[in-house]
Amino acid sequence: MNRVHNFSAGPATLPLQVLEKAQKELVNFKNKGCSLLEMSHRSPEYTAINEQAGKHLKSILGADDDWEVLFLQGGASSQFMMVPHNFLNNSRTANYIDTGAWSEKAIKEAKLFGSVHTSYSGKEGNYSHIPTNDELTFAEHALYTHFTSNNTIFGTQFHTEPENGGAPLVCDASSDFLSRPLDLAKYGLIYAGAQKNLGPAGVTVVMVRKSFLEKQRPEAIPTILNYNTHVNKLFNTPPVFAVYMVNYVLEWIEEKGGLHAFVKINDKKANLLYGEIDSDEFYRGTVEKGSRSKMNVTFRLGDEDLEKIFLTEAAKHNLVALKGHRSVGGIRASIYNACKPESVEALVSFMKDFRAKKG
Ligand SMILES: Cc1ncc(COP(=O)(O)O)c(C=O)c1O
């Protein structure tokens, strides 16, 4: 089978061993005579998967019993609304660090529920910079400080957690969740759409602290949007197949040595690619060097025509999904956990040849 080198930003490449396991079990799940897709979400088989996935996730991150793991629907985008809906009201404020299009969307929703203190905005600098702690400001008595750990479109990333201004961090970790260990003590809530680093589209992982949930706003919250509805029980039908796939991806992460192993592999892949970009002026990184993402590597060539040729030639070498986000153009190589080092090596080798021909 000829699998391409897939640099899609999401839904993104999945570990082949996970796909093959799912393929093998698809029609007849564990000899039950039907597929998991055809079984009740209350069946013992699915209940076990849901529980295992939660346990694997907590064990990978070293999360204690204060943490709850929820598998929700609606994408990371619905968390932009659900977070403020649970915690803000007319008399409450949250800090938001604006580092790109996804942060902007989160801020827009938060303003519907409470007051937003913008701790920093990178908009004027075209989001090419991740703020240092001394560039951040905070509101007094804020309920939480929200940040986007990795900016999928612009290709920037916080390399460590930002200061929180005395309020627990709430993080949209959609595009770098489980690419490295986290200092969980600083967080109240973390959410991530699964379709980049965790599994297929359809499930959004939310990790929330019970102690943070105690700070929910007193006003009513619609049942399905209330985090407490989902704590410790399945309220409604979860995206069973997506959770099943996530469970296998989590097992794969553990087998490979957990987050300490992935941080090394991801560093190596990113360094190789950025090294090639920096080797002369032919390729140009689009963001400040100190703010670069290890997940979404963005760069440009001399002009748009040359970029089109680059993409067409790359595809001929099985290097696909390298087109930058439609809002910014250019080239973007998404190199999440499941993107193999061989794929990055193949891309770098192609880039060298392309430069030799066109440079
Ligand atoms: C950082 C970030 N947040 C949020 C989203 C939106 O996710 P969803 O499509 O699951 O709503 C994306 C999608 O690319 C993203 O990269």
Separation between Cα atoms, residue 306 and residue 308, nearest integer Å: 5
In a domain, 4, yes or no: no
Q: What is the mean pLDDT of the chain?
A: 97
Model confidence band, residue 235 (pLDDT cutoffs 50, 70, 90): very high
Tell me: the pLDDT tens digits for 36-70? 999 999 999 999 999 999 999 999 999 999 999 99
> Which atom of ligand 1 is nearest the CA belonging to 10?
14
193 Cα nearest atom in ligand 1:
10
Any ligand 1 atom below 6 A from CB of 93: no
Whether 71 and 191 map to the same domain: the answer is yes
- Residue whose Cα lies nearest atom 16 of ligand 1: it is 152
pLDDT tens-digit series, residues 77-94: 999 999 999 999 999 999
pLDDT in the model for residue 114: 98
- DSSP secondary structure string for all residues of 331-345: EEEE--TTS-HHHHH
To test the ligand 1 pocket, which listed residue (77, 108, 158) has its Cβ within 8 A of the most ligand atoms?
77
Please report the pLDDT score of residue 2 as a whole number. Answer: 86
Which ligand 1 atom lies nearest to the CA of residue 77? 11
Residue among 58, 67, 98, 172 flagged as catalytic:
172
Say if ligand 1 is within 6 A of residue 77 CB.
yes
DSSP one-letter string for 95-131: EEEE-SHHHHHHHHHHTTTSEEEEEEE-GGGTT--PP
Residues 284 and 239 in one domain: no
Q: Each residue of 305-323: pLDDT tens digit?
A: 999 999 999 999 999 999 9
Number of separate domains in the chain: 2
Residues 293, 212, single domain; the answer is no
Average pLDDT over residues 289-316: 98
Average pLDDT of the residues in 267-295: 97
157 Cβ inside 6 Å of ligand 1: no
Q: Tell me if 193 CB under 6 Å of ligand 1.
A: yes
Q: What's the mean pLDDT in 254-280?
A: 98
pLDDT tops 90 at residue 22? yes
pLDDT in the model for residue 127: 97
Asked if 285 and 210 sit in the same domain, the reply is no
127 in a structural domain: yes
pLDDT of residue 336 exceeding 90, the answer is yes
What is the average per-residue pLDDT within 214-233?
96
Quote the distance between the C-alpha of residue 337 and its chain's center. Answer: 11
Tell me if residue 294 is catalytic. no
> Bridge partners of 147?
171
Average pLDDT over every residue of 227-254? 96
pLDDT tens for residues 122-160? 999 999 999 999 999 999 999 999 999 999 999 999 999
Among 231, 255, 279, residue at a domain's last position: 255
CB atoms within 10 A of CB 133: 12
Ligand 1 pocket, residue 76 CB under 6 Å: yes
Which of 58, 67, 98, 196 is labelled catalytic? 196
Q: Is 156 in the pocket of ligand 1 (CB under 6 A)?
A: no
User: Best substitution site from 80, 127, 152 to test ligand 1's pocket, by max atoms within 8 Å of Cβ?
Assistant: 152
* Cα 101 to averaged position of ligand 1 atoms, centre (Å): 10
Closest CA to 152 of 342, 247, 287, 347: 287
- Mean pLDDT throughout 201-229? 97
Residue 49 belongs to some domain of the structure: yes
Q: Rounded to the nearest whole angstrom, what is the distance from the C-alpha of residue 199 to the centroid of ligand 1?
A: 14
Q: What contacts 24+ positions apart, CB below 8 Å, involve 233-237?
A: 234/41, 234/42, 234/50, 237/41
Confidence class of residue 232 from pLDDT cuts 50, 70 and 90?
confident
Residue 106 lies inside a defined structural domain of this protein: yes
Residue 7 pLDDT grade (very low, low, confident, very high; cuts 50, 70, 90): very high
Tell me which of 58, 102, 294, 323 is the catalytic residue. 102
Average pLDDT over residues 229-238: 93
Residue 317: domain span: 258-358
Q: Is the dihedral of CA 242, 263, 154, 158 positive or negative?
A: positive
CATH number of the domain residue 292 falls in: 3.90.1150.10
User: Does 64 qualify as catalytic in the annotation?
Assistant: no
The fraction of the chain above a pLDDT of 90, given in percent, is 99
Q: How confident is the model at residue 271 (pLDDT cuts 50, 70, 90)?
A: very high
Q: Do 112 and 242 belong together in one domain?
A: yes
21 pLDDT above the threshold of 90: yes
Asked if residue 11 is part of any domain, the answer here is no
Q: Is 24 a catalytic residue?
A: no
DSSP secondary structure code for residue 323 in this structure: B
One-letter amino acid at 93 equals T
Residues 98, 222, single domain; the answer is: yes
Among candidate residues 166, 178, 236, the one with its CA nearest the CA of residue 207: 178
Instruction: From 82, 83, 102, give the residue whose CB has the most ligand 1 atoms within 8 Å, as the site to mutate.
Output: 102
pLDDT at 359 over 90: no
Q: Are 330 and 298 in contact (CB under 8 A)?
A: yes
CA-atom Rg of the chain in angstroms:
21
Instruction: Answer whether 81's CB lies under 8 Å from 109's CB.
Output: yes
Is 10 a domain residue?
Answer: no
> Of 233, 255, 277, which one is at a domain's C-terminal end?
255
Tell whether 180 and 232 lie within a shared domain: yes
Name the residue of 104, 150, 174, 332 whose CB sits within 8 Å of the most ligand 1 atoms, as the mutation to test its pocket: 174
Give pLDDT, residue 124. Answer: 96
Q: Quick one: pLDDT at residue 4?
A: 97
